[in-house]
Chains A and B, each alone.
Chain A
Amino acid sequence: MSAEATRAQERPVTAELAKEFGLSAEEYQNALDILGRTPTFTEMGIISVMWSEHCSYKSSKVWLKTLPTTGPQVICGPGENAGVVDIGDGDAVIFKMESHNHPSYIEPYQGAATGVGGILRDVFTMGARPIANMNALRFGSPDHPKTRHLVSGVVAGIGGYGNCVGVPTVGGETNFHPAYNGNILVNAMTVGVAKTDRIFYSAAAGIGNPVVYVGSKTGRDGIHGATMASAEFTEDSEEKRPTVQVGDPFTEKLLIEACLELMETDAIVAIQDMGAAGLTSSSVEMAGKGGLGIELTLDNLPMREEAMTPYEIMLSESQERMLIILKPGREEVAKAIFDKWELDFAVIGHLTDTGNLVIKMYGETWCDMPIAPVSNAAPEYNRPWEPTPKASDVADSVFDGYSEELGDTLTKLFGCPDLASKRWIWEQYDSLVGGDTRFMSGQADAAVVRVPGQTKAVAITTDCTPRYCLADPVEGGRQAVAEAWRNLSAVGALPLAITDNMNFGNPEKPRIMGQFVGAVQGIGEACKALDFPVVSGNVSLYNETNGEAILPTPAIGGVGIMPDAMIAVGIAFKNEGDVILAVGETKGHIGQSIFLREILGREEGAPPPVDLAVERRNGDFVRGLIHEGLVVSSHDAADGGLIVTIAEMALASGIGAYLTGFDGQHVRVLFGEDQGRYVLAVRPDVAATVQEKAKAAGVPVTVLGETRGTSLSGRGGEIVSLKRLREANEGWLPTYMAAEL
């Protein structure tokens, strides 16, 4: 390969090419103005990915700025590779959730696998050992011809990567809805722990300091992946398969160990993984944050393929690569560590005082442009938006004609895709490696993972109810945050902070932009009221195919802390004769409920409103009870309402419930999805104490019944046996997946 051969592959830089690279006419003109000349082909590629929606957040930034991101617990908020939160004793928890939606639809195994790999790197690049992975998945209708294939590939990809790197996958959520037929969502979250005085950031410093490339070799995979993730899908999206990267979890595992080993030395100035837009975004961001220039000579960069051009190298999204700025003279120390782990290591450049990004190869310069003006000029749009019209409440008349036996209704609900057991999925994930997993989600409202070598534990949850967000994005945004906060409180953890993964359709449509704006508003309100700031996040827009958008899905990853993992309480009933209590007020809000959709066949009404002051009061109360050791089992009342919550607690253990609290109540009370509620089981000898404490705290508590037998029953006898519910609940997904792909 030579300079001449490279030039022969380049195309003339024109407005036409810029358009093909995803830039608008105005954006291209802006580039011409900044450089004062026509960009080179390499420069055009670099500018287009830097200004892509995926990398520049151009449609979302103006709104994201309104979110609360600070608090006494926050060490580092959004803007770095991941958020950092203080958990006491000199320890910090570092976490982020990120989407890999577009690639996972095109190539589910590799798309999901590299999603896990990418988020792991975001966390360990800051100095944290990853201790847990979570994921939030949304698939299309089970009837859609691609759904089975996508579920199968995504789950295998997440497992294939996470199991190999040895980080336990401890939970998440999976929903099905026709709105995701053409755009599935794969949101992966990693949580790690580090010492507060050993956290690594990405701002480069020190003119002349060496720029080092480590990890896998660079190939031609993923070129313009960031651009693909910034456009709607059309019929020909299948052709984009070559833009999906291929993951190598074994190399990632070595990279984790090597980076953490290097971090124990004092050789590193700054470090960042090469994620979306690969070497371009890592080099530009590191130099840009440090206000410096960077000069790279690509001839010695480890390459997997022959005859690569500077353009291809700069835009490749090959996985398992990191860029490191070393202190002067530490190259040998660092190289010895990467040699030990048999990973590539190459000094590919140095920092300069020019403020320019300079790319050299084959004896020529292919890019020489100022970093700050190009970064700062990344477009920022205040796109037109329309508020979502408010839906009205659902009238009582919807229940006309409903006369099904309660046991039959429950059996149907437990076998519906959203409530059915996801065992088929989570048994493919190693949830135990590390030996610190107290609960995976499903056993408790949040996963609980002990901090290695200590007694304290972090609790982790992912939450979002997209059907609420569609009906009312503001209320849906509030609810997603409140539910995350509630799930952490329900296991006994003190909620600390969240990461938000905003998945929406095409922001150029005012209706979609309105969903985004509403959700951000709701999230912001809840975060403020609950002292639960946003410390990291990711935005995925253009989740549309042929004009059909997904449900607005602002997935929230919440993290909390507890002083001792053994305090944590799970959802399973433990003893016969425990008193079952409902904490919080039940009005019977049936709009947008699972019952309404699955049993009455209607997706309508307003979602349940969230009273954030009540949310906080009730959650603080439940957490307090758990810390006092008064709670045996605890579960937030969410999808399906109180009766479904109780049945889930029973199924988790095999101990049933004798229910008296619903006698004479309207069916709304059983299945309504009012917020801010928990179901607790307590020993009978403390039930009165708990009720007194509730009265003192002003928290409504009602007795629903007691744990008993192997069925749900009441004064009228058996409602439904746990055996029947279990068959419906455990049967759906394996039966579905066993059918032909």
Chain B
Amino acid sequence: MKAAIVVFPGSNRERDAVAALEAVSGTKPHLVWHRDTELPKVDLIVVPGGFSYGDYLRSGAMAAHSPIMREVKARADQGVRVLGVCNGFQIITEAGLLPGALMRNGALKFVCRVQHLRVENTDSPFTKKYAKGQIVRFPVAHGDGNYWTDAETVKRLDGEGQVAFRYVGDEARSDPRGNPNGSVSDIAGIFNAKRTVLGLMPHPEDAVEALHGNTDGKPMFEGLVEALS
């Protein structure tokens, strides 16, 4: 699997994404600078976390209009898989690849913690290595992760199997806290209609080795490698 990671000024989790992709695929991903107008031929495009352009405007709004995003959209239309994590989710949502919007966290504070999620749909290269309903733990680290869309769209997303992950609390695993940011219907991550694009707030790339305390993020990258190699 060949992958490219798009780097904006202010991206800061691109190294985490490089490490995760390299560990699982054995191949170093391309780093593509935001001013580039062309992407190498790849099977997967990752838009990583961070604070693109400082996020001084609405998170992701500036980056969504960066030249490279036209190319990302064109590739996504051709079916190239796109993974947007955290700020990347905000950017690809602002760019119109996914419905809805991401607002300030309900508590108006940045939140960083390990969060329990439920895998809602496994019919995608991103989630095929998980079991439906499986509880996984990914860290979250964001200030603007409050996903919103109208009730009708939520219903449609659920109906079409476009909800990928939901926040859940888990008494049994010592942290009863669920939804960390007030997202509508506890949505943590969504697919596009063809399930070739995934955007999610939590960070699977920071849960791939023993040092991270759990490796629940690894199956996502393994699934992608299996599907795209």
Contact = CB atoms under 8 A, between A and B. Distances in A.
Contacts of A166: 12-13, 50-51
A250 B54 contact: yes
Contacts, number: 83
Contacts of B203: 432
Contacts of B16: 433-435
Contacts of B56: 250
A156 B20 CA distance: 30
Contacts of A427: 111-113
Contacts of A434: 15-16
B211 A429 contact: no
A10 B139 CA distance: 55
Given A249-B51, A250-B54, A427-B113, A565 B12 contact: no
Contacts of B29: none
B212 A253 contact: no
B221 to A, nearest CB: 13
Interface stretch (A70-78, A157-165, A273-281, A691-699): A157-165
B102 to A, nearest CB: 16
Contact of B206 (A251, A254, A435): A435
Interface in B45-83: 49-51, 53-56
Interface in A6-56: none
Contacts of B12: 164-166, 253, 433
Given A166-B13, A433-B12, A250 B51 contact: yes
B10 A164 contact: yes
B211 A566 contact: yes
A198 B141 CA distance: 32
The secondary structure that dominates the B interface is mixed
Contact of A342 (B9, B141, B205): B9
A626 B153 CA distance: 54
B53 A430 contact: no
B110 interface: yes
A590 B111 CA distance: 38
A248 interface: yes
A452 B14 CA distance: 13
A341 interface: yes
A163 B140 CA distance: 12
B10 to A, nearest CB: 5
Interface string A425-467: 0111111111110100000000000101000000000000000
B132 interface: no
Nearest to A163: B110
Contacts of B99: none
Interface string B31-52: 0000000000000000001110
Contacts of B229: none
B174 A163 contact: no
A507 interface: no
A433 B205 CA distance: 10
A654 interface: yes
B112 A654 contact: no
B156 interface: no
Contacts of A156: 109-110
Contact of A433 (B9, B13, B211): B13
Contacts of B19: 435
B10 A250 contact: yes
Contacts of A566: 210-211
Q: 10 smallest A-B Cβ distances: which pairs?
A: A166-B12, A250-B54, A435-B16, A430-B141, A164-B51, A428-B110, A430-B112, A159-B110, A432-B206, A432-B139
Given A164-B10, A433-B206, 9 more contacts: A159-B110, A163-B143, A164-B55, A251-B54, A253-B9, A429-B110, A432-B112, A432-B212, A435-B19
5 contacts: A163-B112, A430-B110, A432-B203, A432-B212, A434-B15
